[in-house]
Amino acid sequence: MDVWDSEHVLFVEYRGPVPHTLMAQIMLAGSALVEKLALLKPGAAVSSERLRDSGQVPMPIVECPVAHTLAELAHALRITDTTLPRHDDEDFVDVRALAWSRCRPHLPDWPDQQPLGETDRGRLLGDFAADTADPDDTVVRSLGETPLGHALLPIAAHVPCLG
């Protein structure tokens, strides 16, 4: 990971008939997105540290349990796969299938979301409706009452009405 925790580069070493390293570069700005996947020679993590230019952002190597690393990769792949535009680079797509086959058993659950209480829900709906041209407009109120409306309320409540 870099010193600002905005990028993780994961290296997972595999021994066996064909030893190799699965590498994933994950960008963490706003969300965890897999930027790059590659199959490298064994020992790639140590080699990458030696090859870093002294002017680049420091990325100290930190050993982590394999299960933790594969869970982070699975989470980032899930978000990457649901984010547009989708990766269509041939190399990425080929290695993506291998990466998924190795990390899918470690895929964490989506974080639980707690429903809003009636008081908070009413306050958000009121704020949402107050920022419109007609706070008593039934269309605005019904939008705020829908599940989609609830997902948009925290954002929409801060956007001034242009009407």
Domain ranges of the chain: 7-106, 118-156
Q: Shortest CA distance to 130 belongs to which of 161, 97, 104?
A: 161
For residue 155 the two structure tokens come to 């954002």
Higher pLDDT pick, 94 / 49: 94
Q: pLDDT at residue 22 above 90?
A: yes
Between CA 120 and CA 133 the distance in angstroms is 22
Between CA 29 and CA 83 the distance in angstroms is 14
pLDDT in tens, 137-157: 677 667 666 654 444 444 444
The residue type of 62 is V
Strands 7-14 and 20-27: antiparallel
pTM passes above 0.75: no
